[in-house]
Amino acid sequence: MKKQLISVALLAVSMMATAQSDPVIMTVAGVDVPRSEFEYSYNKNNTDGVIDKKSVEEYVDLFVNYKLKVQAALDARIDTTAAFKKEFAQYRDQQVRPTFVTDDDMLAEARRVYENDKQHIGPDGLVKAEHILIIIPQKATEEQQQEAKSRIDSIYAALKDGADFEELAKKVSQDPGSARNGGMLGWFPRHRMVKEFEDAAFALQPGEMSEPVQTPFGWHIILMKERKQLEPFEFYEQSILKFLEQRGAREAITDRKLDEMVKNADTTITKEQILEQRADSMAAADKDMRYLIKEYHDGLLLYEVSNQNIWDKAAKDENALAQYFKKNKKKYVWSEPRFKGIAYHVKNQEYVKAVANCIKKLKFEDWNEALRSNFNNDSIIRIRVEKGLFKKGDNKLIDREQFKQSDVKVDSVKGYPIDATYGKILKKPEEYTDVRGLVTADLQDELERQWVADLRRKYTFTVNEEVLKTVNKHE
């Protein structure tokens, strides 16, 4: 009992020390925010490279709004959804999984790869050889076989008389991969080539040349360049380590270690729980890591709750967009007129009137489908069309026909000699779809302001001004 009381007392002292070194800078929706968390966020978002740097006082409102939105997401239980849990776990694991692999682990893996290769190479080591190949086609006739044998014999005779092997390989070898390099095959161990070639090559000493050797590919002459045993591990260490990094060996080692930890655990535990425990341990030991993980956790919540309340809501609510445009129509102006319509090219003059009749009574957004179904609904393309809201300079045909720039030369479209336009000139936007991007952004801003105001009414928050004065000014 006494021991337990001492432990509780020590814990209390520890908590008091932590509180004194990292005081509460604000309380938002009943949750205390330590000064270190505010400093982490402020300093990260106000580096020297940031254009719109904020003072500490200016940043307070942004940070409070951020915390209010996160609380709204928590109240909406977004953090309990399977999609959120999966995405957050993936990010958390990106931070945690690398900590399971040390440099010693990678070095041990590199040694394992080396020893496997060494065993595979065997006592005969490696050879470097050049060869000249004369191919015998599959199902070759007797005549073709005799012709290949005659050619290889004549090449062999020339080499015996002093012809340069590399120059001859470049001229006559039918192995395109090696011929361009003078017949060079590079280093290879046993079991890399077909048996007939391998046996002949490994029977040679450096500088020796084989007689013609027949394999399933044809006739070869082999020139031995060098032989060696595999160099010590240290010779290959860095290249093997680089290879392992490129092949994602760290991930494989991590998975292997996690499987072993699960297997050797005294109690039932999953890999997910091990990763979560490691994340908690890292967060407890490293303040920056703690806030990095928390930042991503809260950032995911903020994205989803903002999407539900602002971004997606504004972008998809056609009625709200139309109403907002109608209410604020005067703010949307153009410095120059636009042509709202199509520039198109057809095969015959009769199609020009047909196009106009096809779409003249339809909404602008329905034109594409109507033109496709009436003119291009089978394998024959009868009309080439570009639809949109055009200003001067966007389309040469529209510049000439609608903006009356007679000096503009329109490029012809092969196979579609008739050029035409259909639509109308607008001095200002008629409906929200004419300036949809601007209206959507403005409506999102409006919804953002309304939402933040609602959150500030719904949740309480206080800021400790004295602690605020000490931001980045304490030891």
448 by Cβ neighbours in 10 Å (0-12 / 13-18 / 19+) ranks as middle
Q: Which residues contact 313 (CB under 8 A, 6 or more apart)?
A: 320, 447
State the Cα angle at 65 between 64 and 71, rounded to 5°: 90
For residue 12, the model assigns a pLDDT of 42
For residue 2, the model assigns a pLDDT of 39
DSSP-H helix ranges across 329-435? 350-359, 367-375, 396-401
H or E element: which one contains 456?
helix 436-458
Q: What is the CA radius of gyration of the chain?
A: 38
Strand, coil or helix: 430: coil
Q: Could you give the CA distance from residue 402 to residue 277 in angstroms, rounded to a whole number?
A: 68
One-letter amino acid of 329? K
Q: Please, what sign has the CA dihedral across residues 248, 249, 253, 259?
A: positive
One-letter amino acid of 124? D
pTM beyond 0.85, yes or no = no
**Beta-ladder partners of 339:** 390, 425
For residue 310, the model assigns a pLDDT of 95
What does the pLDDT profile of the chain (475 residues) look like in tens digits? 333 433 334 334 444 444 568 999 999 999 999 999 999 999 999 988 788 889 999 999 999 999 999 999 999 999 999 999 999 999 999 999 999 999 999 999 999 999 999 999 999 999 999 999 999 999 999 999 999 999 999 999 999 999 999 999 999 999 999 999 999 999 999 999 999 999 999 999 999 999 999 999 999 999 999 999 999 999 999 999 999 999 999 999 999 999 999 999 888 999 999 999 999 999 999 999 999 999 999 999 999 999 999 999 899 999 999 999 999 999 999 999 999 999 999 999 999 999 999 999 999 999 999 999 999 988 889 999 999 999 999 999 999 999 999 999 999 899 999 999 999 999 999 999 999 999 999 999 999 999 999 999 999 999 999 999 999 999 7
Closest C-alpha among 344, 318, 325, 334 to residue 446: 325
For residue 21, the model assigns a pLDDT of 86
For residue 11, the model assigns a pLDDT of 36
Closest C-alpha among 20, 30, 25, 21 to residue 41: 25
